[in-house]
Structure 1
């Protein structure tokens, strides 16, 4: 019971639900303490059943059947029960011991009953509990191999109708439906034990289809049906292991399932899990069927994935490459995937050729997958082909004239000791773009960003003056120029600050305060502190209604 405290309840519920839970202490009734759990009824809008797990795998947790609790929340009713338990904390160990004793007594009593007495007891429970009766009927049908009854009961268990309002199972009822669906999975699995595994296989496949249909009408936000599907896949695998079905039929079904032919995609089945069952002959059939499917639809995602998966599992790199090569993307990405596969197979020369094909076969270098360019430049650099790396970076920059290709060209050219000449040509292009402005990236913005990135402040300032710049660039220019050109920087700061005084909002006020600090620094450098005092006084007078701004300026000593 470590970690069970008021602070733990508050952390689970949140402050609001915790405080509301305090008001429900008098509504808690019928508290029952078990070994590690406590249950009770809490009377709210309706009577809700509440259960706290005191020391489960995840620590303190709880469940309530109120609408808020059914959404997975730790509600006020759980808080009320938790506070009630804490109020009687000293007696809790004694109550838990009493619960264990009762459980042992019950087990001892049941063990001592005769078969006839047990049957009477079970029959009484069956008469009172419809769900128990249905579960036992299903188990009995499975045990005697009554497939017609088992199939009918499985269809009933997977039917969403009893849980659906207006044809849809809401989140609050999804767990209950999933629990019922698990009963169907258990019944199919039970057939494997008594030697009826060959019957379990078709039942499992039918259940997969029913489950796939059901999930379309269930809010499975918590993934309960996904777990049912995984359990169903395991049951099918175990049934196949036990029954040893016809290999060709199994291979054909596995391929159909992988390609979505059976429309039961909720059940994720990996054909390679059946490799031991299929053996060499069955895997050959599986491969043949996969190849036929892929050749019939080379662009199909499922066909490509299945072929790639089987080829990789068999270590057939050439088959993997053939799958990718049959559907090459126009931007070179698939060429790079092939290159990586060849690198893994330690065939670097072929890998390089495929990557180079990716560049050559890309119609528009501006749209190329930049990872292909990066891969090739890395390979060229490793091979001391520095000029080849520069040439590729140059071509990429010319096709897509943005800051990043410019930076990459600079890095490659520095390594090859040819940056001055490359820079001059690159800046000529950017200046031409700034004059023409034909494309979104063909503007003065890239030129100014490039000059700033080169730490060429004077050229960047001149370009901004000649062709214009956006506010962010002017702010960067002013920040960098302030130590040496405070008067120029001051004019920029004043213009930007004037625009911000017409806006509101805390984020705006933060920006304005930052600009005022920069303006003050410029006046200090220019030895015009009195001018700043006059400017700030006028600004505060004009903005005095903005209380948050005034408070922020005070905090910054402005």
Structure 2
């Protein structure tokens, strides 16, 4: 174990980054500059394809968390630049604790200095700062407007805060800028709550609805991979709900607005749930909400949002029969809706009706190539629980005949073994796969399922003659892997053919694959007593590909 400082060592960095990024990070040690140590974090810049900013957050005895503004780091990965900064810290292990102490002293000194300043001195300091920072000025102007109930200024500042254009590059808010934009949206939401608390709930309600509309219109132009803007928008929705409660808004007007939000495009941003407003809506508002949802459903019966809203309302009312009737209006050809109905009925204690609906789903979807596997599993589980293994086999057999996939074969095998009838079922299943394998396979990707099924059974003796002219490279390799001891000569021929094909591709994945094939070939030569032939083959390959240093390293690591 490498020595640790501030709670982590090289092994921790390797675990965080993965072997590949860790190895690449080693090459960036001389590219790290501007290392600045704070009490709980370290920042630096790393010079690579571009100049990247890196921050490592230290957590005592825990591994550090890292952030980098390189493309890979912005996806949430502990990148090679983070590795380089972490390794630089380990190189400077002796000085880090002293720098952290110095950081604490600086922070304490700053706090003491600020505490000692007079009101006028603090005011001058703040004014100096806001003169330099336009964004800070806008935020403070909003807080001031909210505090004095200046609705006109508050509206102007809120709309300015949620305007994404200052963060936009090429008409789009990129990932690196989404956090800053989210902070402004959260600041606007806080100002709305302040207005509500100051007796301006009606005004806050109108501003919140306007802000939510603008957010909905802009969300499609934001890379919100981490969801930070969505979280800030949720805070905006909470501010709206709070204002509704205090302002005692008209229930029917609120119902109309909520339906418009759920069925409109802006709901992607705020994810408003009308049922969160149940208390404010009251009986009359909920009734109006149900009426509007039903009308929208009639106008657009296939609409996802319309269906979702209606389902939420009916489900909340607890009327299982109404919910079943709603689901039954639009049965998915995969059987997924049948399953939902079955689950709702079972939850209501109506198990017999639930199984009837699930069986209906199996019948309705019998000819579909794809059927929701959970529905099939549901029916089979209930048959098994009722002591009906033959019926389980029947369901699995029917699905296998339609799908003819390896998964369906495995499921049939498991069911038939339980029912002690696998021998007969296997003969019929393999015959069906054999017939399928002999048909024209234009556009079919990969080798036939027949070969996969035989290999999954471990029946290599049957697989060898069947594979000729049918198997793809993946299946040939699997067959060779299973046959090193029993069919070493045949397996060796496969390995040598695949090795020859892998001489051209480059990259870590291809090199690792080539090493695996060579290890398989070595085992075959050992079984055949022809180790010298393998040595000659390996020597020739190394000479031919000697310029590929990474490949040579991988072969060395594998003992080749």
Counterpart Cα distance in 1 of 2:230 and 2:7? 35
Calculate the aligned-residue CA RMSD, in Å: 5.1
* Aligned-pair CA distance for 1:335: 1.2
Q: Does 1:401 align with 2:420?
A: no
For residue 411 of structure 1, what is the aligned residue in structure 2?
414
TM-score by length of structure 1 reads 0.74
For residue 375 of structure 2, what is the aligned residue in structure 1?
372
Is the contact between residue 481 and residue 520 of structure 2 (CA under 8 Å) also seen in structure 1?
Answer: no
Gaps in structure 1 of 5+ consecutive residues:
43-47, 524-528
The C-alpha deviation readout for 1:395-447, integer Å capped at 9, x for no partner, is: 22222333433333333333334344434433443444444456888999444
For residue 151 of structure 2, what is the aligned residue in structure 1?
147
Is the contact between residue 6 and residue 83 of structure 1 (CA under 8 Å) also seen in structure 2?
Answer: no
Q: 198, 204, 210: which is aligned to 2:202?
A: 198
Counterpart Cα distance in 1 of 2:260 and 2:268? 11
* Aligned-pair CA distance for 1:328: 1.1
* Aligned-pair CA distance for 1:184: 2.8
For residue 507 of structure 2, what is the aligned residue in structure 1?
none
Q: 1:177 to 1:388 in 2, by over 3 A?
A: closer
Is the contact between residue 157 and residue 180 of structure 1 (CA under 8 Å) also seen in structure 2?
Answer: yes
Please give the residue correspondences for 1:331-346 in structure 2 after superposition, counting only pairs within 5 Å: 331-346=334-349
Q: 1:128 to 1:496 in 2, by over 3 A?
A: closer
For residue 545 of structure 1, what is the aligned residue in structure 2?
543
For residue 160 of structure 2, what is the aligned residue in structure 1?
156
Aligned residues: 528
Q: 1:382 to 1:102 in 2, by over 3 A?
A: closer
Is the contact between residue 460 and residue 482 of structure 2 (CA under 8 Å) also seen in structure 1?
Answer: yes
The C-alpha deviation readout for 1:254-290, integer Å capped at 9, x for no partner, is: 12211126x3531222222222222333323222322
* Aligned-pair CA distance for 1:470: 4.9
Counterpart Cα distance in 1 of 2:161 and 2:395? 63
Is the contact between residue 145 and residue 191 of structure 1 (CA under 8 Å) also seen in structure 2?
Answer: yes
For residue 45 of structure 1, what is the aligned residue in structure 2?
none
Is the contact between residue 390 and residue 416 of structure 1 (CA under 8 Å) also seen in structure 2?
Answer: yes
Q: 12, 15, 19: which is aligned to 2:30?
A: 19
SS at the partner of 2:327?
helix
Q: 1:68 to 1:81 in 2, by over 3 A?
A: farther
Is the contact between residue 335 and residue 375 of structure 2 (CA under 8 Å) also seen in structure 1?
Answer: yes
Is the contact between residue 481 and residue 491 of structure 2 (CA under 8 Å) also seen in structure 1?
Answer: no
For residue 237 of structure 1, what is the aligned residue in structure 2?
241
For residue 517 of structure 1, what is the aligned residue in structure 2?
523
Counterpart Cα distance in 1 of 2:449 and 2:84? 58
Counterpart Cα distance in 2 of 1:78 and 1:460? 52
Q: Does 1:258 align with 2:262?
A: yes
For residue 299 of structure 1, what is the aligned residue in structure 2?
302
SS at the partner of 1:367?
coil
* Aligned-pair CA distance for 1:60: 7.7
SS at the partner of 2:198?
coil
The C-alpha deviation readout for 1:159-207, integer Å capped at 9, x for no partner, is: 3444545555555554444444444323322211221101110100101
Q: Does 1:508 align with 2:514?
A: yes
Counterpart Cα distance in 1 of 2:446 and 2:137? 77
Counterpart Cα distance in 2 of 1:119 and 1:457? 84
For residue 49 of structure 2, what is the aligned residue in structure 1?
none
* Aligned-pair CA distance for 1:50: 11
Counterpart Cα distance in 1 of 2:445 and 2:59? 65
Counterpart Cα distance in 2 of 1:91 and 1:556? 43
Please give the residue correspondences for 1:61-460 in structure 2 after superposition, counting only pairs within 5 Å: 93=101, 96=104, 100=108, 103-104=111-112, 106-107=114-115, 109-110=117-118, 134-164=138-168, 167-169=171-173, 173-260=177-264, 263=266, 265-362=268-365, 364-437=367-440, 445-454=448-457, 458-460=461-463
Q: 1:411 to 1:254 in 2, by over 3 A?
A: same
Larger Rg: 1
The C-alpha deviation readout for 1:328-368, integer Å capped at 9, x for no partner, is: 11122221222222222222211111112112222624333
Q: 1:297 to 1:541 in 2, by over 3 A?
A: closer
Deviates more, 1:251-260 or 1:317-326: 317-326
* Aligned-pair CA distance for 1:537: 6.6
Is the contact between residue 495 and residue 517 of structure 2 (CA under 8 Å) also seen in structure 1?
Answer: no
Is the contact between residue 515 and residue 554 of structure 2 (CA under 8 Å) also seen in structure 1?
Answer: yes
Is the contact between residue 26 and residue 84 of structure 2 (CA under 8 Å) also seen in structure 1?
Answer: no
Q: 1:535 to 1:337 in 2, by over 3 A?
A: same
